[in-house]
Amino acid sequence: MDMIWIVIVLFAAGYLGSRFAFAKERLPALLRDTFLTGWEFIFIGMALGPLGFDLIDAERMGQLAPVMALGLAWAGLIFGMQMRLVDLKKVDRGLLKLTFFQMAVTGMVVFGIYLVMVAVGRSFGSSGLFAGAAVVAAASSISSPTTLSLIAGSYPRTSAPLFRKLLTVSTLDVGPALVAVGLVFCLFPAGGGGAFDLDRGTTLLFFSILIALALAGLFRYFERRQLKPEEELTVLLGFLALISGVALFLKLSPLFLALMVGVALANTLTRDDPVFAALFATEKPFYIILLILSGLLWAPSGGEMFAMAMAVMLARAWAKGVSVRIGADLFRPEGGMPRDGGLGLMAQGALALAIGINYVIVYPGDASRLAFGVIAFVVALNEIVAPFFIRQMANRDAASRKGGR
Amino acid sequence: MIGSASETARPFVLIGILLAVTSLAHHLGGGLSHEFQPEESALALGFLLLFAFLVGQIVRNFGAPMITGFLLAGILAGPHGLGMVNTAAVEPLRLVNLLALSLIAFAAGGAMKISRFRTRARSLVGMALGQVALVLPLAFLSFLLVFGLTGIMGSEPAVVVSAALLFGVFCVTNSPAEAIAVLSETRAKGPVAEAIIGVTVLVDLLVIFLFGVAGAVAHTLTGADDAGGSGFVGGFLYEQGVSFLVGGLAGMAMITYLSRFQKNVPLFLLGVAMVIVAICQKMDISPMMMAITAGLVVENASEEGERFMVGLHHSSLPVFVIFFSLSGHKVDLSVMAELWPLALLAVVLRVAAVRQGTLWGARWGGEEERVARHAWSGFVGQAGLSLGFAVMIATEFPPWGEKIATLIVATIVINEFLGPILMKRSLVAAGETRREGAADSQN
Amino acid sequence: MSDHRELFVCILNDPTAVEDVLAGFLEIGVTGSTIIDTKGMGKVISQDIPIFAGFKNLFAGARESNVTIFSVMATDLVDDAIRIVEEVHRSLEEPSSGIVFTLPVSRVKGIGGG
């Protein structure tokens, strides 16, 4: 398929899919919850790619890398632009500590499990081993607010505080994961074959921060003018393309670079709403495109990948449960957290896939393909089971509050 | 005063930051390669979009249209300027050219309300024929003399005549791209603006036909394959027929969407433009006529014309920025240095002939004097279509075709800069721009 | 200008357009208006599904989504005022662009003559 048809198909699918992916109210409950967050679009990607009709072959996928990087920069920017200090200060301290605690524990558990599995089963170099494990750990440590938000609407207002807390946790735990991914890309630079390199790593990290601040300053200085809507669109597109271009060129993480730019902008722009509104308006279509791209990139390498994915999934579920239980006792978030609150964090969502895609487009090779395959499989499985676990947890919480009256 | 000084300095400061960041990235990444690398293309796209936009802003502060800035930015960014963007990196971005041509053609078609043009048909046809009748013979004869005297095209008479003929046809071409871009930026409305669009499209249709005929003659004179001669005319008819048919269908599809849905109009139009480009690539035809037809159908067969044009306006700026900066990027300054005297001669002759031909044709057609005096400036600019001809000539008639193509490109470069500036001045003088006051008060 | 006055209420869904609307009002002789930040019904009851940007919704109280302009003006200025809103902003026939309505005013005190 020619490049232009690929772009047309992707964007048409993204636009159409975004209208239907979250509109499944009329389906029977079981079906609705199984496909709640639209993960079935991964299959469309698989059908288009080498696993299906091979309409988009490996060469074309390589040419899609800049488009994917643009999408990743967009995702990182939109996330970073939410991180205003003034808003973060409104979050209960106990909840904040719980968020990072559960994320760190889950990450470390998955890191260890994956590292051991790969060290035993494969013979990757240090990059494939440690960097791959770190990326899988980062993707596994995060949770997704999408499923929570879709389910929260079917619960009474008395459950709202619980869902609000879980939404906060599942939104904020992404930040450190993206930072971790960025650090991995610096310390295991793809340009140098992926081996650990502290010198180059610290140089890249320093200049990443410098470049991010310069880009934020560039956009900030732009934004003080009254731009016409089409001019604002041009500047935003150019800006996103520049972030993703710089990241791809230096083999850094577009997610990380864009995150830093977004955070700098969020805390310096006086009038960030129109920019945010423009980004937010394309959130759903981009999500669908991300799912399709994940399907395209997925290359299962036999039963070993499935076994690893199951192990990671179980380890993640256990770690989330245990860390939330311990964290709730340690940090005492305001209003408390149910002991099975970890069940509410089962969903992983789009940013986990974005982390995986980021890894695979910057680090070609078997290690990244394996890591991405594991991530994609785990995400899909978690998207299926998460609605059931969330409902279970919410029902128990509601029952315990009723019984407590 | 301090406020306005900082406003003037702002684009320069932003350019400084942009150059610093990009240079740093190049330095850290080991510099640019001379082969295609997707990551270099990604960086090139981001740099060009912002850099060209900023240069466009600077140029606008001096009263020139922004597209002049986009062109200049392309030259500055390229291998003959700062070297921030190399040729291999921009190759994938050429796709944007066809997209831009489609959007421009949409706008050209959408600006043609047949009921309004019907009353002015005689004057529009008059202006178009006036240009052709003056420019073609003048350019042909002048360059027949020049090529004959200088020996640039060799000594074979058939080649000299063919080269002069093709160059003469080229001189008739103008640029809907530049015209639409300037009209869009200045939000010009009125009889002069309408005349420019109408005549530009008419002349383009004539040129496609004339080029077909000239190509057939050149093939015959130079002894090339005879099938190439009839192939041109046959190919032209096939192309126009398919374009009208598919363009009409595309127009109907756009009407259906615009009348049913209110959201995402710019994105939808971009999508339709991409589909048109994809179809044209498959069938190996130009998207211009297809997109003009589609725009014409929307404007004349529905009530959605206004929304269509507003949606186009919102979606086209980023595409224009890339399109014109890539045009500038292609400019080979060493060629310009060699051929500028001939190119300048062509420009001067052409401007004089266009101006006079337009004036006579307008008066013959009973057009109002304001249009007769000002519309000519919209026909000076040359860009996309003309560049396409240069490529075709170079391909069809090697080796002398390449020399003609080079001269064509040199002429286009001068007209690319001159055309928009003259056009904007004329539109302002004719009182048809709406942007000057609004832009100033917003700054 | 007639003596009859109306309360002109305009809810604009694009807050950035308000300055141009007010500038247009000044040109037609409407010299006083009150502007308040407001939130539409859709914003309150809709389920914004967060995918990448969930955090902003949790503290959405800090962000308002539209602007309401109140202005007491002479009846014969109302048509011009509506025209200005549609020129600067966009047609009110388009969904989600905004709404304009007027109420008759029987008594007013505190605004200048005319």
Give residues with Cβ within 8 angstroms of B307, minimum separation 6. Answer: B258, B265
Query: Would an 8 Å CB–CB cutoff place A149 in contact with chain C?
Result: yes
Query: Would an 8 Å CB–CB cutoff place A333 in contact with chain C?
Result: no
Assess whether the previous peptide bond of B399 is cis (omega < 30° from 0).
Answer: yes
pLDDT recorded at residue B3 = 52
With H, G, I as helix, E, B as strand and everything else as coil, classify residue C12: strand
Helix (H) or strand (E) run with residue C102 in it? strand C98-105
How far away is chain A from the Cα of B303, in angstroms, using its nearest Cα?
24
Task: Encode pLDDT of A330-384 as tens digits.
Answer: 999 988 888 888 999 999 988 999 999 999 989 888 888 899 999 999 999 999 9
Interface test with C, best of A82, A84, A90, A290 (most C CBs within 10 A): A82
Q: How far apart are the first and last CA of chain C?
A: 7
Query: Would an 8 Å CB–CB cutoff place A227 in contact with chain B?
Result: no
With H, G, I as helix, E, B as strand and everything else as coil, classify residue C6: strand
Residue with tokens 């947890």: A393
Query: Would an 8 Å CB–CB cutoff place A6 in contact with chain B?
Result: no
Tell me the sheet residues that pair with C12. C67, C98
The pair of three-digit structure tokens given for residue A281, joined into one six-digit string: 């308006």
- As a whole number of angstroms, the distance between CA B292 and CA B248 comes to 9
CB B243 within 8 A of CB B290: yes
Interface test with B, best of A218, A227, A284 (most B CBs within 10 A): A218
Which residue among A82, A273, A274 places its CB closest to the CB of C53? A82
CB pairs under 8 A between A and B: 139
Query: Would an 8 Å CB–CB cutoff place C58 in contact with chain A?
Result: yes
The pair of three-digit structure tokens given for residue C79, joined into one six-digit string: 């048509």
Backbone phi and psi for residue A159, each to the nearest 5 degrees, phi listed first = -90, -5
Which range among B122-131, B188-197, B225-234, C70-79 shows the weakest confidence by mean pLDDT? B225-234
The pair of three-digit structure tokens given for residue C13, joined into one six-digit string: 């869904």
pLDDT recorded at residue B442 = 33
pLDDT recorded at residue B282 = 82
Chain C environment of A351 (Cβ under 8 Å): 52
The stretch C89-108 carries a mean pLDDT of 80
pLDDT higher than 90, residue B304: no
Query: Would an 8 Å CB–CB cutoff place A207 in contact with chain B?
Result: yes
Backbone phi and psi for residue A359, each to the nearest 5 degrees, phi listed first = -65, -45
Compare all CA atoms of chain A with the CA of C60 and give the residue at the minimum distance. A87
Q: How confident is the model at residue B298 (pLDDT cuts 50, 70, 90)?
A: very high
Helix (H) or strand (E) run with residue B346 in it? helix B333-364
Nearest alpha-carbon partner for A172 in A287, A239, A92: A92
The pair of three-digit structure tokens given for residue B233, joined into one six-digit string: 């005319």
Percent of chain A with pLDDT over 70: 97
**Partner-chain contact C50 A146, CB within 8 Å:** yes
pLDDT higher than 80, residue A278: no
pTM above 0.90, yes or no: no
The tally of CA atoms less than 13 A away on the side-chain side of residue B205 is 20
Which residue among C16, C53, C58 places its CB closest to the CB of A280? C53
pLDDT higher than 50, residue B437: no
Task: Encode pLDDT of A52-99 as tens digits.
Answer: 888 888 778 877 888 888 889 989 998 898 888 888 888 899 999 999
- As a whole number of angstroms, the distance between CA B158 and CA A156 comes to 88
pLDDT recorded at residue B164 = 93
The tally of CA atoms less than 13 A away on the side-chain side of residue A146 is 26
Percent of chain C with pLDDT over 90: 24
Give residues with Cβ within 8 angstroms of A347, minimum separation 6. Answer: A37, A143, A144, A146, A147, A148, A170, A382, A383, A386, A387, A390
The stretch C95-113 carries a mean pLDDT of 80
pLDDT higher than 90, residue A246: yes
Q: Where are the domains of chain C?
A: 5-47+58-105
pLDDT higher than 70, residue A287: yes
- As a whole number of angstroms, the distance between CA B130 and CA B166 comes to 19
CATH topology of domain C5-47+58-105: Alpha-Beta Plaits (3.30.70)
Compare all CA atoms of chain B with the CA of A281 and give the residue at the minimum distance. B264
Nearest alpha-carbon partner for B104 in B269, B275, B343, B351: B269
Task: Encode pLDDT of C12-64 as tens digits.
Answer: 877 777 888 888 898 888 888 999 888 665 444 444 677 777 776 666 544 44
With H, G, I as helix, E, B as strand and everything else as coil, classify residue C68: strand
**Partner-chain contact A87 C54, CB within 8 Å:** no
Chain B environment of A203 (Cβ under 8 Å): 28
How far away is chain C from the Cα of A326, in angstroms, using its nearest Cα?
24
- Domain A66-399 is in which class? mainly alpha
Q: How confident is the model at residue B438 (pLDDT cuts 50, 70, 90)?
A: very low
Question: What subunits make at least 3 CB pairs under 8 angstroms with A?
Answer: B, C
Which residue among B14, B43, B53 places its CB closest to the CB of A249? B43
The stretch B130-143 carries a mean pLDDT of 94
With H, G, I as helix, E, B as strand and everything else as coil, classify residue C104: strand
The stretch B319-336 carries a mean pLDDT of 82
pLDDT recorded at residue A330 = 93
The CA-atom distances, in angstroms, between A260 and each of A111, B43, B129, C94 are: 24, 18, 59, 38
pLDDT higher than 90, residue A315: yes
pLDDT recorded at residue B432 = 87
Residue by residue, DSSP assigns A340-360 as TGGGGG----HHHHHHHHHHH
Strand order in the sheet with C66-74: C34-38, C66-74, C5-12, C98-105
Query: Would an 8 Å CB–CB cutoff place A277 in contact with chain B?
Result: no
Partner B, chain A 232-251, Cβ-Cβ below 8 Å: 233-235, 237-246, 248-251
Which residue among A22, A75, A172 places its CB closest to the CB of C49? A22
The stretch A212-228 carries a mean pLDDT of 81
Task: Encode pLDDT of B238-280 as tens digits.
Answer: 777 888 888 899 999 999 988 887 677 888 888 888 888 888 8
Burial of A359 (0-12, 13-18, 19+ CB in 10 A): buried
The stretch A213-233 carries a mean pLDDT of 81
Q: How confident is the model at residue A254 (pLDDT cuts 50, 70, 90)?
A: very high
**Partner-chain contact A287 C51, CB within 8 Å:** yes
CB pairs under 8 A between A and C: 62
CB A257 within 8 A of CB A239: no
pLDDT recorded at residue C63 = 44
Task: Encode pLDDT of B22-45 as tens digits.
Answer: 999 998 888 777 777 777 888 998
How far away is chain C from the Cα of A22, in angstroms, using its nearest Cα?
9
